[in-house]
Amino acid sequence: MKGKGAVGAALALILVGVSAATAAKGPPPPPKASGGQAVSVVARGVPTPTAFAFVGGATFAGGFGDEEHPKITGGVYLLAGGKATKLPGSPAHVLGLATHGTTLYVSSGHAIAAWTGWNGKTFTGRRTIVTGPKRFTAFT
């Protein structure tokens, strides 16, 4: 029995040592670009980012939402000044973004919409260009 107690105590000391060593290291370092350059955060606050697009000098992110908390929905976000601002009228779940010229195409799963007329705060024109048929899974 003494041997088992000594082994248990040694194992406990090892686990405490591993935990202390891990805690002392802290969080991982920031990522680096493939060429070794430092990277910076453009914005925070997009729930489950799915895509990025650029229109008229602005950067947009699509967000799906929070899979574990359905009340937290996604949308289309303007990324500027270190923060993400959800654009009014965004679909609840954005699976993809694409651009052609000054048009932003937004895939919300069951439909693809074309957003036009970016004025620095919102898109002034929005229209659905295609909707999937019954039992359609999703556009991505």
Close Cβ partners of 25 (under 8 Å, ≥ 6 residues apart)? none
pLDDT value for 75? 96
pTM: 0.73
With CA atoms as reference, report the closest residue to 108 among 120, 94, 122: 94
With CA atoms as reference, report the closest residue to 112 among 62, 55, 72, 77: 62
Q: Within a 13 Å sphere around the CA of 93, how many CA atoms are in the beta-carbon half?
A: 14
Per-residue pLDDT tens digits of the chain, which is 140 residues long: 455 555 444 444 444 444 455 556 777 777 888 898 988 888 889 999 999 999 999 999 999 998 888 888 999 999 998 899 999 999 999 999 999 999 999 999 889 999 999 999 999 999 999 998 888 877 76
Place of tokens 């008229």: 56
Dist CA 125 CA 105 (whole Å):
12
| CB contact at 8 A, 75 and 91 | yes
